[in-house]
């Protein structure tokens, strides 16, 4: 396909890309549309970006879709987002199966509406045998909440005698986080210009390269994604060394 040609020059590919998909509301506002319309367009961007990941061989893509704090939004918007998520999953699952995408989710998933949870689990189940891109949706996700849940799980392991307190180090603790099965992100992208983490993957992005673009999420296209990856390739990662 012609659309894949511009990525041919990309030699250094991050194994795990995490994205704070921001700016749907502003995109809609600029057009005099309801915020929900921005979210609907944002879902289209997800399709483009997963495709772009496939083009260059990214192994893990984590998308911040709904934060712990997003429950504070007006009920109307929250309801619309939950409906959109359910629709997205229902519609995209056959495509994900075709494209060999394995769907996963992190966050306090039991906070989601029942029908959403059921659809999510069906989608995860029906893509579980896929071996291509692992697409991880962060839903009702908060980095602080994740760390707290990790601490509780760690204490439980110690109390049950499965783990000795003296053995706890950063690797052991990582195994108690929602992300225990995935490597840490190499590249963190945030759209729409905000210079903050907004409670996203606080522990895991310790050594991720940050890429912030003013583009609003619904406008973010494959070429924007490839540009972020090229910029990543130009960075010198030192991990505290020299
Ligand atoms: C990101 O877009 C989507 C979610 C947080 C669910 P926003 O809805 O935050 O859009 P802005 O930041 O108001 O433009
Ligand atoms: C972060 O965006 C959460 C998601 C993208 C899901 P927000 O729009 O909620 O973040 P703030 O409020 O600008 O920090
Ligand atoms: Mg926002």
Q: Is 67 in the pocket of ligand 2 (CB under 6 A)?
A: yes
- Proportion of the chain above pLDDT 90, given as a percent: 98
Question: Is the CB of residue 141 below 6 angstroms from any atom belonging to ligand 2?
Answer: no
pLDDT confidence of 1, banded at 50, 70, 90?
A: very low
In the residue annotation, 70 being an active-site residue is answered as yes
Q: What is the position in ligand 1's atom list of the atom closest to the CA of 21? A: 1
100 is catalytic: no
Q: What percent of the chain has pLDDT over 70?
A: 98
Residue nearest ligand 2's atom 3 by CA: 67
Whether the per-residue pLDDT at 67 is higher than 50: the answer is: yes
Which residues make beta-bridge pairs with 210? 188
Element (H, E) at 20: strand 16-20
Proximal ligand: closest to the CA of 196? 2
pTM (whole model) above 0.75: yes
Q: Which two tokens stand for residue 146?
A: 């994740």
CA of 59 to the centre of ligand 1 (A): 26
Q: What DSSP designation does 9 have?
A: T
CATH of domain 11-142+183-233: 3.40.1180.10
Cα separation of 220 and 24, whole Å? 11
Best CA proximity match to 137, nearest among 172, 86, 173, 100: 86
Please check the confidence at residue 30 and state whether its pLDDT lies above 60: yes
| Ligand 3 center from residue 94 Cα (angstroms) | 29
Instruction: Give the pLDDT score at 6.
Output: 73
Residue 3: pLDDT over 90 = no
Handedness of CA 58, 209, 141, 88 (dihedral sign): negative
Could you give the CA distance from residue 204 to residue 186 in angstroms, rounded to a whole number? 9
Mean pLDDT of 20-38: 98
CA-to-CA dists, residue 17 to 59, 136, 185, angstroms: 8, 10, 5
Give the number of whichever ligand sits closest to the CA of residue 34: 1
**How many Å lie between the centroid of ligand 2 and the Cα of residue 235?**
26
Q: Which residues surround ligand 3, an ion (CB under 5 A)?
A: 22
Domain range summary for the chain, segments of one domain joined by + = 11-142+183-233
**How far is residue 239 from each of residues 101, 205, 236, measured CA to CA in Å?**
30, 12, 9
């Amino acid at each position: 396909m012609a659309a894949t040609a511009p990525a041919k020059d990309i030699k250094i590919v991050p194994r795990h890309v995490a994205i704070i998909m921001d700016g749907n509301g502003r995109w809609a506002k600029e057009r005099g549309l309801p915020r929900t319309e921005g979210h609907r367009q944002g879902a289209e961007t997800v399709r483009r970006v997963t495709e772009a990941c496939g083009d260059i061989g990214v192994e893990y893509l984590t998308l911040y879709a709904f934060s712990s704090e997003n429950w504070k939004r007006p009920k109307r918007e929250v309801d619309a987002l939950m409906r959109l998520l359910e629709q997205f999953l229902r519609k995209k699952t056959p495509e994900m199966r075709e494209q060999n995408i394995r769907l996963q989710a992190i966050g306090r998933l039991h906070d989601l509406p029942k029908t959403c949870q059921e659809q999510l689990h069906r989608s995860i189940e029906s893509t579980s045998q896929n071996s291509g891109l692992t697409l991880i949706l962060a839903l009702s996700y908060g980095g602080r909440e994740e760390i707290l849940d990790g601490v509780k799980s760690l204490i439980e392991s110690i109390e049950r005698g499965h783990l000795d307190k003296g053995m706890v180090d950063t690797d052991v603790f990582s195994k108690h986080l929602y992300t225990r099965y995935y490597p840490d992100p190499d590249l963190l992208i945030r759209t729409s210009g905000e210079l903050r983490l907004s409670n996203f993957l606080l522990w895991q992005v310790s050594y991720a390269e940050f890429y912030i673009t003013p583009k609003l999420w619904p406008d973010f296209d494959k070429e924007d994604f490839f540009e972020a990856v090229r910029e990543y390739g130009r960075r010198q990662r030192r991990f505290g060394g020299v």
